[in-house]
Amino acid sequence: MNRPEPGTSASAQNRYFGPQGLLRARLPQFAVRREQAALAHAVSEALGRRHTLVAEAGTGVGKTFAYLIPLLTSGRKAIVSTASRTLQDQLFQRDIPRLLQILGQTARVVRLKGRANYLCPYRLETAKVDARFNRAEDWQVLREVRRFAATTEEGDLADCSELPENSPVIPWVTSTGENCLGNTCPKIAGCFVVKARNAAWQADLVIVNHHLFCADLALLQGTEQSILPDLDTIVIDEAHGFIATASQAFSDSISSQQVTVLARDILATGLRLAPDGAAWAELSAALEQTAMVFRSQFADLSVGKWDWARLLADKGDGLGDSVAVFTQGLAPARNALQVNRERHPEFERLSVRVEALIERLTMFTDQQQQADSADMPAKVFWLERTRFGVSLHAAPLDLAEPLTATFQKPDRSWIFLSATLAAEQGDASDPEKAFGYFNRRLGLKPGRCLLLGSPFDFQKQALLVLPEDLPDPKAPDLVVRLLSMPGIDALFETIPGGIMILCTSLRAVSLAAAHVRAHPGQFLSSRRLLVQGEAARGALLDSFRSHGRGLLIGSASFWEGVDVPGLALSMVMIDKLPFAPPDDPVMQARMKQARQQGEDPFRSIQCPEALLLLKQGIGRLIRSEADKGVLLVGDRRLYQTGYGKSMLSGLPSFAQARSMRESIAVAGQLFGSPVPTQ
C-alpha cells in the first residue's frame, strides 16, 4: 500500500477534515463537520493504541470517510464488515476508489461475498443433467448463465444481468457449505470462490458483509478453516445489525424444506453417478414423504414460533416421537449413501449432510431431559411453522459467551460504528452508559466509547407529530384507526413528496393497504400506492424514489437500510413502538434469565431493543442538510409513560406538534405549502 504518513492527533485529522483540509480542497460539496473530525480522531486513536472503539455517529456525520481515511493512512491491513451487499458495493465501487484518488494512494482492495453469490463451474456442469424447471424461461436463463460463465473473470452473479433476483436457476449454479466438494472438486482450478478468497488473503483491505463475517466467526468456534484472513484491524460498520446476524450465524436449524431439497439432491446425484447403487427414486420419495409427515404432525399449530419447552408440556412424549420419526426417516438414505460413499465425493458430501441433520435432531430429542431443569440452557430451542413448512431452531441465549474471547484478543483494533447504538439513557459525557446494552450483548470491553450527535438542525428541518388523542396502541386495528383520525388526510395533502408508513407487523401492512385502497380520494388522488409483498423490495424503493409522491407501506425490512433523500421521502408514519413480539422464544428466554438475575426484563431488554429499532425507522426521514420532513408516531405511550418519555429523550430533538391542526399548520410552513381547507 502506497500511503502518506499516518497521524493520530486532532491536528492530523484536521489536515483531512478541516476548513483548509484535503477533502474540502478536492470535494467542492464537502461540508466541514466537527463531529466527523472527532470520529476520525477516535478511529485513529483506536488503531494506534490497538483497542476497541464503540461509536454512535448520528445521521449526516459522514462516518464512512471518518473511518476510511484513518484506515487507509494507517498502513494496517484491515477487514471492513457492513450490513449488506449493497453497502459493500457502495464502499468498493464508489467510496474507497474516490478516497484513494484524493489521497494519492494505491491499495489492494477486495470485495468478498458469500459463496452463494459466485458461479460454481462444477454445479453449472451438473445442472445440464440435474436441473429441473417447470418454465421455459428458466431454461433460457440457464443458457444465459452458461454464456456469462464463458466470459466472467470473477464469477460474481450480480454481474450477470440476465439472471433475475431470486431466480430458481441460482441454487443449481451455486454451491453451499453443504454441497461444496472442496479440494476434491474436479473444477477446483477454476473455482471463483477459491479465487476470491485467495485474493482476500493478499489484500490490504477486505470488504465483507456481516453475514459472511459472522459465518466466519462461527467457523472459528469449530474445527473448520477460516474463510477470512486473520487480521488485527476490523471495522464493523452499521453495527446495529451485527447482533442479530451473529445470533443467526451461531444458531442451528433444520427444516422440512431442507429435507425435501436433500431428497432432490440424492435422487439427481444417485441417478447421474451411481444408477446401480440404490433404488434412488424410492429413497428420494420416502425422504420427501418423511418431510410431509413431519409437517402434518404440527398442522394443529398456528403459523408462528413455538417455544420447545411449551410444546413439550402440551404434547409430552408425542413431541419426542415426532422427532424420532423424522430421524428414522433419514436412516435408509443414510445407509445407501454410506454404501456408495467411496464412489464419488458428492456421495461423501451428501452423507455429511445427512449426519448433520441427524445430529441436530438429536439436540432437540435431548431437550426433553432438560425441559424440567431450573437452570437456564445455553441455547434456546423452538419450532417455527410457516405456510411453507416446519423448522426447528436452536440459538445461543447469551451471544457474548462465544464472542468474548474473539473480541478480547490482545493487540487488536475493533471499531464498531453506527448511527444507532445508544439504547440506554446517557449522553456525550457518559457514552459507556448509553452503550451498555450493546456492549453487554457482545461481551465488549471498549477502550473508548464515543457518542456524537447529528450535525442536522432537526428543530428547523423536521416536525414530530404526537397528537394527544391517539387511539389505544394495543388495538388490533391500530393502523386503521390512525389513518381514520380527523385531519390525517389533510396532513397527507400538505406533504409535497413521498410518504412512508412503517408498520410493526405484516398484518398491519395489509390493514393499512386495504384502508388506503378503500379511500382513494383521501390518500391516492396524486400518489402511487406501493405495498410490501406486492413487488420486490428494491423495485418498490426504485418506484418510490422515481415517482416523488409515493405512498409506501412496509414492515421490518423497510425500517433500516433505506436512503431516500430529498422530497421523495417527506413524511414517515410509524404505527407504534416496535417492541419485539411477546411470543418470540429467544426474547422470552432472555427475559426469564433477566428475572432470575433480579432485573426488570422490560426495562433492561425490551425497551432498549425497541428504542434502537425506533431510531432506525426515524432515521429514514432526514438524510441531508437540505431535507425536510414530518414524523408521526401513533403511540401515545411515547408521552404518557415513563419509559416512553425516556425513549423520546433518546430521539433527535425535532420540533413537536401535539394536535393534528397544529401539525398541518407547521408542516405547511416547513414545506412552504398552502394549508388545506378542513
Same domain, 495 and 638: yes
Hey, what's the cell of 407? 473480541
Query: SS in 3 state form for 530-586?
Result: EECCCCCHHHHHHHHHHHCCEEEEECHHHCCCCCCCCCCCCEEEECCCCCCCCCCHH
Does residue 470 share a domain with residue 368? Answer: no
Q: Which residues pair with 144 in a beta bridge?
A: none
- 314 in any annotated domain: yes
Q: Classify residue 65: in a domain, yes or no.
A: yes
Let me know if residue 230 belongs to a domain. no
Cell, residue 63: 462516518
Q: Angle 345-370/317-339 helices, nearest 10 degrees?
A: 160
Give the Cβ contact number of residue 183 at 10 Å.
8
Query: H or E segment at 254?
Result: strand 252-255
CA distances from residue 100 to 18, 200, 253 in whole angstroms, order as listed: 18, 18, 43
Task: For residue 657, report the phi and psi dihedrals to the nearest 5 degrees.
Answer: -130, 135
- The pair phi, psi for residue 237, each rounded to 5°, is -85, 155
610 and 542 both lie in a single domain: yes
Q: Encode burial over 458-486: b for 16+ CB neighbours within 10 A, e otherwise.
A: beebbbbbbbeebbebeeeebbbbbbebe
Grid cell locating 664: 398541518
What single letter denotes the amino acid at residue 470? L
Residue 406: CB atoms within 10 A of its CB come to: 15
Phi, psi of 305 (to 5 degrees): -100, 140
Burial grade of 69 (CB within 10 A; 0-12, 13-18, 19 or more): buried
β-strand partners of 109: 205
Nearest to 280 by CA among 294, 293, 269: 269
Q: What is the pTM of this model?
A: 0.92
Q: What is the pLDDT of residue 388?
A: 86
**Which residue in the block uniquely carries the three cell numbers 388523542?**
469
Residue 292 is classified by DSSP as: H
Task: Output the nine-digit C-alpha cell for 417.
Answer: 460504528
Supply the DSSP string of 366-422, one letter for each residue: HHHHHTT-SSPPSEEEEEEE-SS-EEEEEEES-THHHHHHHHT-SS-EEEEEES---
18 and 74 inside one domain: yes
Helix, strand, or coil (residue 208): strand
Q: Do the beta carbons of residue 45 and residue 449 sit within 8 Å?
A: no
| DSSP strand pairing (379-385 vs 390-396) | antiparallel
Rg (C-alpha) for the chain, rounded Å, is 27
Do 432 and 525 lie in one domain? The reply is no
- Helices 242-249 and 210-221 pack at an angle, to 10 degrees, of 40
Q: Show which of 396, 421, 439 is a domain's final residue.
A: 396
**pLDDT of 269-299, one tens digit each?**
999 999 999 999 999 999 999 999 999 989 8
Which of 452, 479, 494 marks a domain boundary?
452
Decide: 56 and 37 in contact? Cβ < 8 Å: no
Contact 126, 186 (CB under 8 A): no
Say yes or no: 499 and 633 in one domain: yes
Could you tell me if 52 and 22 lie in one domain?
yes
Give the helix/strand (H/E) hosting 463: strand 462-465
* pLDDT for 4: 45
Domain assignment present for residue 180? The answer is no
Cβ proximity of 368 and 301 under 8 Å: no
Which CATH number does the domain housing residue 590 bear?
A: 3.40.50.300
Q: Is 306 helix (H, G, I), strand (E, B) or coil?
A: strand
Q: How far apart are CA 86 and CA 63, in angstroms?
A: 17
Residue 606 corresponds to which cell in the numbers above?
425490551
The answer to whether 72 touches 105, Cβ cutoff 8 Å, is yes
Residue 87 lies in a domain: yes
Q: Is the dihedral of CA 42, 47, 48, 53 positive or negative?
A: positive
Structural domain count, the chain:
3
Distance, in Å, from the CA atom of 358 to the CA atom of 290, rounded to the nearest integer, reads: 13
548 with 611, same domain: the answer is: yes
Angstrom distance (rounded) from CA 622 to CA 461: 8
Instruction: Say whether both 367 and 491 belong to one domain.
Output: no
Give dist(CA 513, CA 504) in Å, integer: 14
Residue 348: give its domain's CATH number: 1.10.275
DSSP letter assigned to residue 619: T
Burial group, residue 303, by CB count within 10 angstroms (0-12, 13-18, 19+): exposed
Is residue 637, in this structure, part of any structural domain at all? yes
Q: Which one, of 213, 224, 192, lies nearest residue 117 by Cα?
A: 192
Domain shared by 572 and 479, yes or no: yes
Q: Whole domain around residue 407: which residue ranges?
A: 10-108+400-452
What is the Cα 528 distance to its own chain's centre? 27
3-state DSSP assignment of residue 279: coil
Q: Is 203 among the domain residues? A: no
What is the Cα–Cα distance from 81 to 212, expressed in whole angstroms? Answer: 9
Which residue reads 464512512 in cell numbers?
64
Domain boundary among 379, 396, 413: 396
- Pull the grid cell for residue 361: 435432531
The Cα 609–Cα 328 span in angstroms is: 41
Is residue 270 domain-shared with residue 323, that is, in the same domain?
yes
Same structural domain, 392 and 404: no
Contacts 24+ apart (CB under 8 A), 8-17: 8/41, 8/44, 8/45, 8/47, 8/48, 8/70, 9/41, 10/37, 10/41, 12/44, 13/37, 13/40, 13/41, 13/44, 13/70, 16/40, 16/69, 17/65, 17/66, 17/69
Nearest Cα to 244, choosing from 556, 14, 592?
A: 556
Domain membership flag for residue 145: no
In this prediction, residue 368 carries a pLDDT of: 57
Residue matched to cell numbers 446476524 = 245
Kind plus residue range of the DSSP H or E element containing 130: helix 121-130
Residue numbers in the chain where pLDDT is lower than 70: 1-12, 221-225, 367-377, 425-429, 673-678
Q: Three-state SS for 139? A: helix
